[in-house]
Amino acid sequence: MQINESVIRNVVTQVLAEVSENHRAPVANATYSGRHGVFGDVNEAVAAAREAFLQLSQRGKADRKRIIDHVRRISIEQSEELGTMEMEETKIGRLEHKIEKLKTLGARSPGIEFLRSEVYSGDLGLAVIEHAPFGVIGAITPVTHSLPTITGNAVSMIAAGNTLVVNPHPSGKRVAAEGVRRFNQAIAADLGIDNLICVIAEPTLESAASIFSHRDIALICVTGGPGVARAALNSGKRAIVAGPGNPPVVVDETADLDRAARSIITGASYDNNLLCIAEKEVFVVDAVFQPMLDAMARAGAVRLNERQIENLTRNAISQVGDDQHDAPAKEFLGQDATILAEGAGTSVPVGTELLYGETDETNPFVPVEQMMPFVPFVRTRSVEEAIDKARQYEHGFRHTSIIHSNNVRNMTRMGQLLDTTLFVKNGPCMASLGLGGEGYISFSIAGPTGEGVTTPLTFTRERRCSIIEDLCVLGQPQDGGH
Ligand code: NAD
């Protein structure tokens, strides 16, 4: 196909004119007093992020990459210091994993390479589909991974050309502000743009609501439990919702039990079970139930007996809210297995990663997203029953599920029935985020709104640019005929 050069020039000039019109010139007198992204007030944070967005819009993709590289570098190089800060502030999880999460997000979160354009080329000309930014994105982040979620969100959102204002969880606000300050400082020193990532220093539910309703927030991305997921969906704005999970595991009679045990321990004990994708309850077919419990012990987990499980359940699951529903007790959430053992009325060797034991499905550890390193094992008559129970206790979140099996039919049945965003076969949960498996990582996995593991493309609008080959083809036969 040949396209007249002057036609292309005209189209490009027109597109550029439209683009610069859309990106209103920076407001010279935008009023805000925060620096390096840390703000006390939502209006000021949004004004600063809006100005940063306008400045970013004048830069090319190479500069976006340079910006992201600073975030990545700090995340990796300062992971020990920032990870320790997060551990000391939130007091949940495991230090080695706080550090590893920052390193992995720095190294393996998806960047500008995801922004590929699609092109349709034919007799009538050319159509280019590009991915354009939204503007300023409002992000809500969880206590379970305060800075890691901000890091992953910032890389993806800025790669796509956006800026962001974050309302972190109040219990992870200091590390959030310190990380954001360091990212912005390095970016501003190198590229002269400040406040690409803004954070509310004293976050509250009111500041979250102000972000949701702010006219200059173009899109919302929330990562958290059911309350914030509902609030975002009711906000009236387009929302990307990375909501809660309660990932079930099924073990059938064909599974490699030692491998299953190692996988369950690796996944369920990671950061003391804080991951939303982590193994939360296990359904094992009767034929291999006892051998599976034995395999767990061989792999280093410590089994609790019935009385100890009763004690732990009484202490570590509390009743909250008007309806007095079961929820993890604060004193045990994200704590080490040694602390949980105390709650069970026993003690385990220092360094024990995971506790487990037999329960029936009525034990609250089965339906509740416990976020602590005790995993209940439930006996089922058949694999069909195990898969049905897995579906029931996943609660329709369609978040994550795991099977240990060498029977393809069982894998397919579970995949189809649970229909989860992440489905892992024969590995630990993290394999689904590229840790010991293929693919890339993000800590915002959008199940309810369908975007899946978020990437820069998640935070873009689709835009089409058409170049017409020959105007005489429009509405007329091309080769005479009259
Ligand atoms: P949380 O729901 O208590 O808090 C998450 C964030 O939402 C916090 O910043 C909190 O202040 C805010 N928030 C809570 N209610 C709100 C409301 N009504 N309006 C506005 N903001 C509100 O969750 P958490 O304990 O911090 O994190 C654990 C939860 O997050 C688990 O349920 C876990 O599954 C989920 N999670 C999901 C993903 C995912 O990718 N899908 C990733 C990490 C965590």
What is the rounded CA–CA span in Å between residue 384 and residue 392?
A: 12
36 near 188, Cβ under 8 Å? yes
User: How high is the pLDDT of residue 139?
Assistant: 98
The tokens of 449 are what?
């709104």
What is the rounded CA–CA span in Å between residue 132 and residue 139?
A: 19
User: How high is the pLDDT of residue 472?
Assistant: 57
Cα(445) to centroid of ligand 1, in Å?
A: 12
443 lines ligand 1 (CB under 6 A): yes
User: How high is the pLDDT of residue 35?
Assistant: 85
Sequential DSSP letters for 266-314: HHHHGGGGT-TTS--EEEEEGGGHHHHHHHHHHTT-EE--HHHHHHHHH
Kindly report, residue by residue over 340-367, the tens digit of the pLDDT.
999 999 999 999 999 999 999 999 999 9
271 near 97, Cβ under 8 Å? yes
Strands (E), 347-387: 355-358, 374-380
Kindly report, residue by residue over 139-178, the tens digit of the pLDDT.
999 999 999 999 999 999 999 999 999 999 999 999 999 9
Q: Please state, for a pLDDT cut of 90, what percent of the chain lies above it.
A: 89
368 lines ligand 1 (CB under 6 A): no
Closest-CA residue to 430 (of 112, 78, 99, 100): 100
Angle between helices 61-77 and 42-57 (to 10 degrees): 130
Cα(291) to centroid of ligand 1, in Å?
A: 37
Which DSSP category does 35 fall into? B
Category of 101 on φ-ψ map: left (φ > 0), alpha (ψ -120 to 50) or beta: alpha
Strand partners, 452: 446
Strand partners, 284: 251, 379
Q: Which uninterrupted H or E stretch holds 416?
A: helix 408-418
227 lines ligand 1 (CB under 6 A): yes
Classify strands 125-133 and 460-468 as parallel, antiparallel or unpaired: antiparallel
Kindly report, residue by residue over 92-147, the tens digit of the pLDDT.
999 999 999 999 999 999 999 999 999 999 999 999 999 999 999 999 999 999 99
Q: Is the pLDDT of residue 471 over 90?
A: no
Kindly report, residue by residue over 186-232, the tens digit of the pLDDT.
999 999 999 999 999 999 999 999 999 999 999 999 999 999 999 99
* Domains observed in the chain: 5-243+447-466 (3.40.605.10), 248-433 (3.40.309.10)
| Residue in the structure block whose two tokens are 């390096």 | 36
For the chain, the residue count is 482
Q: Which uninterrupted H or E stretch holds 330?
A: none
For 186, residues 6+ apart whose C-beta sits below 8 A from its C-beta are 70, 73, 74
pLDDT confidence band for 7 (50 / 70 / 90): very low
Q: Please state, for a pLDDT cut of 70, what percent of the chain lies above it.
A: 91
Cα(476) to centroid of ligand 1, in Å?
A: 58
Kindly report, residue by residue over 304-319, the tens digit of the pLDDT.
999 999 999 999 999 9
User: How high is the pLDDT of residue 5?
Assistant: 53
Instruction: Choose one of 97, 101, 143, 246 to mutate for the ligand 1 pocket test, by most ligand atoms within 8 angstroms of C-beta.
Output: 143
Once rounded to an integer, what is the mean pLDDT over residues 34-44? Answer: 94
Closest-CA residue to 47 (of 180, 238, 184, 214): 214
Higher pLDDT pick, 437 / 418: 418
Q: Which uninterrupted H or E stretch holds 137?
A: strand 136-140
* Protein residue closest via CA to atom 2 of ligand 1: 225
301 near 356, Cβ under 8 Å? yes
Q: Is the pLDDT of residue 32 over 90?
A: no
Kindly report, residue by residue over 247-298, the tens digit of the pLDDT.
999 999 999 999 999 999 999 999 999 999 999 999 999 999 999 999 999 9
* Protein residue closest via CA to atom 34 of ligand 1: 244
Mean pLDDT in the chain? 93
Q: What is the pTM of this model?
A: 0.92
